[in-house]
Amino acid sequence: MATERKKILLRLDPAVHDALARWAGDELRSTNAQIEFLLRRALADAGRMPGEVGRMRRPGRPPKTIDSVAGADTDADEE
């Protein structure tokens, strides 16, 4: 069962936000995912990462599932 993700309001200097957004784009992440990535790395480096933390999704588009590929083939066969 997936746990609900926490939402926070984060105030940033506009120049910091712009730099984060550019960096995130370079790594194919959203700005939000980039912030989480950096926070996780900082926690791990400081030895403060809780053991029960799940893994982050890799950057970029999620891989196609077998079901979505099979569904596309089925639709093509019906025409």
| Residue whose structure tokens are 């933390």 | 53
In this structure, what DSSP letter does residue 42 have? H
Whole-structure pTM value? 0.66
Amino acid 4: pLDDT: 82
Amino acid 44: pLDDT: 93
Length reported for the chain: 79
Q: How many secondary structure helices (H) and strands (E) does the chain include?
A: 3, 0
Amino acid 68: pLDDT: 56
Q: Please give the single-letter amino acid code of residue 11.
A: R
DSSP-assigned letters across all residues of 46-69: TT---TTPPPPPPSSSPPPPHHHH
Say if residues 56 and 37 touch (Cβ distance below 8 Å): yes
pLDDT single digits (tens) 19-77? 999 999 999 999 999 999 999 999 999 999 998 887 877 766 777 877 655 555 555 55
